[in-house]
Chains A and B, each alone.
Chain A
Amino acid sequence: DTAVSQTPKYLVTQMGNDKSIKCEQNLGHDTMYWYKQDSKKFLKIMFSYNNKELIINETVPNRFSPKSPDKAHLNLHINSLELGDSAVYFCASSQDQETGWNGYTFGSGTRLTVV
């Protein structure tokens, strides 16, 4: 069983389109994240949800909107796609605990290409 699964793995779309990326975790974790990784491998946090509540919302265009229908899911919807949105998007999750924290578990990524 995949712990953090993202779909689709690849997404090629035209400028101006609206698209969604889905993420599900079966680890029972409390917090989920979206990261954007650019072509130089730099990782930038976009959003974080804890038990369906938004807790981190970095400086991201409002064309990006996260949705968390329940604790195990965090989807990312992108409106009016632009060329600069091309990147790999990673979903991650983590458990809330005071000690012995093991960091994040990442999905395998969604490579978005806007043409």
Chain B
Amino acid sequence: GDSVTQMEGPVTLSEEAFLTINCTYTATGYPSLFWYVQYPGEGLQLLLKATKADDKGSNKGFEATYRKETTSFHLEKGSVQVSDSAVYFCAQTGGGNKLTFGTGTQLKVEL
């Protein structure tokens, strides 16, 4: 079945460091791919998405490129801030617009 694999956390970085959170997917067909962010005490919010191969989603300085050849959708940011501390979820669509989520990766950014 469809599944999404994310790197385990927590990921701890200093402010202004470069961020990569790995995500790979397994799906038949051509899923849409998403990154969601969950700040402490809140629900998940859509961060960015990509709907076809080689698309790049971007928002708030975060980027992710849909790589069909490596079935990956890694999240990157060039310079993280303390306010980016959150849990990040990678997700893919399945049948009927159902989303399959990864296990989440906690990011902690320190001064």
Measured in the bound complex, the distance between the Cα atoms of B41 and A31 in whole Å is 24
CB–CB A41/B38 < 8 A: yes
CB–CB A101/B45 < 8 A: no
A101 touching B32 in the complex, CB below 8 Å, given contacts A55-B96, A109-B43: yes
CB–CB B106/A103 < 8 A: no
Tell whether B101 is near chain A: CB-to-CB under 8 Å.
yes
Tell whether B49 is near chain A: CB-to-CB under 8 Å.
yes
Interface size on A, residues (CB 8 A): 24
Measured in the bound complex, the distance between the Cα atoms of B51 and A24 in whole Å is 28
CB–CB B87/A96 < 8 A: no
Measured in the bound complex, the distance between the Cα atoms of B17 and A59 in whole Å is 41
Q: Which residues of B contact A104 (CB under 8 A)?
A: 44, 46, 99
CB–CB A43/B104 < 8 A: yes
Minimal Cβ-Cβ distance residue in B for A30: B97
Measured in the bound complex, the distance between the Cα atoms of B46 and A11 in whole Å is 26
Tell whether B60 is near chain A: CB-to-CB under 8 Å.
no
A42 touching B43 in the complex, CB below 8 Å, given contacts A56-B98, A101-B93, A104-B99: no
Tell whether A49 is near chain B: CB-to-CB under 8 Å.
no
A43 touching B98 in the complex, CB below 8 Å, given contacts A103-B46, A103-B91, A106-B43: no
Contact with A along B44-56 (1 / 0, CB 8 A): 1110010100000
Tell whether A13 is near chain B: CB-to-CB under 8 Å.
no
CB–CB B89/A103 < 8 A: no
Scan residues 87-111 of chain B and give those whose CB is less than 8 A from a CB of chain A: 87, 89, 91, 93, 96-99, 101, 103-104, 106
Measured in the bound complex, the distance between the Cα atoms of B40 and A108 in whole Å is 10
CB–CB A48/B98 < 8 A: yes
Tell whether B66 is near chain A: CB-to-CB under 8 Å.
no
Tell whether A107 is near chain B: CB-to-CB under 8 Å.
yes
Complex A-B, nearest 3 residue pairs according to Cβ-Cβ distance, in ascending order: A106-B43, A41-B104, A106-B44
